[in-house]
Structure 1
Amino acid sequence: MTNPLIIALDFPNWQAANDFLARFSPDEPLFVKVGMELFYQEGPQLIQILKSRGYGIFLDLKLYDIPNTVQSALTVIGQLGVDYTTIHAAGGLAMLQAGVAGIKKGAALANVKPAKLLAITQLTSTNEAQMQAEQLISASLPETVVHYAQLAHAANCDGVVCSAQEITAIRQHTSQDFLCVTPGIRPITSQVNDQKRAVTPLAAAQAKSSAIVVGRPITQAVNPYQIYQTIKSEWESF
């Protein structure tokens, strides 16, 4: 899947996630995101179950610690054979570089393809006023996101997680093939919820997002498969 539509499996346990996935055809080539809640509840064996079904996997744990700890953790994650995983750009250049080294080491140990390491810039639940007041960052939100993206690029991360609103500026300051994965995707008819910088699937496609992540609009829908197909059609239409 070159530019996947990723479904966020934001469920408390495997039973709930599996009940949701049962509403899709086994032949549907799904790409799913496993976040902290589900992974901490079920552990690495969950990844093996999902891989056995042929799903693409985005393991979104947003690592943020001292470089040595992050490298060790990503050495473990690197052995799981997931497609994407995440690290916080705010941890700094040395931590990002350690993360890249960990992913490569883990993949080599398990003889699997290295996961794409994505750096978190600013959460899409954060707006500029909130960032400046609570994080004491005086720069604008776009400037901050671009700065974090440049750090990630310098550390040889594969890309960033960012709003579609920031993709053009990020690629101008990194490279055109730098991955920009966009969460906070909301169809026009959907509630924004706690997302402050949400965009539609079409807007993400027009901004040339590398992939989009959709959670509640699909997982909380009466007919998840129908909504999934609607969003997928819009995402792939541009």
Structure 2
Amino acid sequence: MGDNDAVERSSQIIVALDFDNRRAADEMVDRLGDQCRFYKVGMELLTAAGPDLIEHLVAKGKEVFLDLKLFEIPNSVAGAVRVAGALGVSMVTVHSMGGIGIMSAAVEAARDFPRLRVLALTVVTSMTSSDFVDIGVTGSTSTEEQVLRLARLAEGAGCHGVIASPQETGPLRGVLGARTLIVTPGVALPGESPSEHARTGTPRAAVAAGASYVVVGRTITRAADPAAAFRLVRANLEP
């Protein structure tokens, strides 16, 4: 694999900074160095470290995927998206189950920030079809059918992409076409099984099915040598 190929594969990897404190996040970014340019910051780390962390990552030339899964009244969602854009965030998530109003408000708020992409969460990767019964989604709806339905709704609202598990990536790519971003959490190297995700797959399988980016957490961040683990994930992305 040439240097350009390595850079291209590296750019598809988003490392999830799933930590509860700023020091641990900073140490991980330092250990990965120039290899990794894209990081996910979720609610736990944002609550612990505040927006200063995001500004710090952006100042270092990193891209930030702010995974807020916004699910609020449209005005509040729009306000949060504008704050994300002002911080220099590259991607922010809204919850597609909030409906057209919430997603459209997020997309409209992002228009003032050309680098900001609004991604709609379809069905969280910890959910299975049996969970739909618990929350009142009855009938014979499968997880895949629900994901595709919500993805079409997100597309209609103008979202730039969707979040979905490796198992739904192929069907989604067929429905959404080539330009829509598909960001895929729940990936792990062969032989690993990320316990918090019910619908998983390998990085290679996700990208081969059409994922634009894969989100990798513990495989890298809990490794004895995170930089070496990052290289293993990058190697796994080779066709």
Q: What TM-score do the two structures reach when normalised by structure 2?
A: 0.91
Selected match of 1:14 from 9, 19, 22: 22
Q: Which runs of 5+ in 2 are unaligned?
A: 1-6
Shift of 1:14: 1.0
Letter in 2 for 1:189: G
Q: 1:135 to 1:176 in 2, by over 3 A?
A: farther
Partners of 1:29 and 1:54 within 8 A in 2: no
The amino acid across from 2:106 in the alignment is: G
Shift of residue 172, structure 1, vs aligned partner: 3.0
State which drifts further: 39-48 or 212-221: 39-48
Could you say which residue in structure 1 is the equivalent of 2:3? none
The 1-side partners of 2:104 and 2:115 are apart by: 15
Amino acid at match of 1:48: E
| Whole-Å separation in 2 of the counterparts to 1:21 and 1:137 | 44
Query: Cα deviations across residues 144-202 of structure 1 (Å, max 9, x unaligned)?
Result: 10011001100110010001221232233333211110000111132331210010111
Number of the residue aligned with 1:66: 73
Residue 114 of structure 1 deviates from its aligned partner by 3.2
Show structure 1 runs of 5+ residues with no match. 108-112
Q: Of residues 166, 174, 180 in structure 1, which corresponds to 2:168?
A: 166
| Number of the residue aligned with 1:110 | none
Q: Is this contact kept in 1: 2:169–2:184, CA < 8 A? A: no
* 1:215 corresponds to: 217
The root-mean-square deviation of aligned C-alpha atoms, in Å, is: 1.6
The size of the alignment, in residue pairs, is 230
Distance 1:216 1:158 in 2: 27
Alignment identity in percent? Answer: 37
Confirm or deny: 8 A CA contact 1:104 1:114 kept in the other structure.
no
1:149–1:230 CA distance, 2 compared to 1 (3 A): same
Q: Which residue of 1 aligns with 2:4?
A: none
| TM-superposed deviation, 1:68 | 1.5
**Which residue, 142, 145, 169 being the options, matches 2:147?**
145
Q: Using a 3 Å threshold, how does the CA distance of structure 1 residues 210 and 137 change in structure 2: closer, same or farther?
A: farther
Match of 2:49 in 1: 42
TM (normalized to structure 1)?
Answer: 0.91
**SS of corresponding position for 2:32:** coil
**Which aligned pairs between 1:119-134 and structure 2 lie closer than 5 A?**
119-134=120-135
Secondary structure of 1:57 counterpart: strand
Runs (4+) of structure 1 exceeding 4 A deviation are none
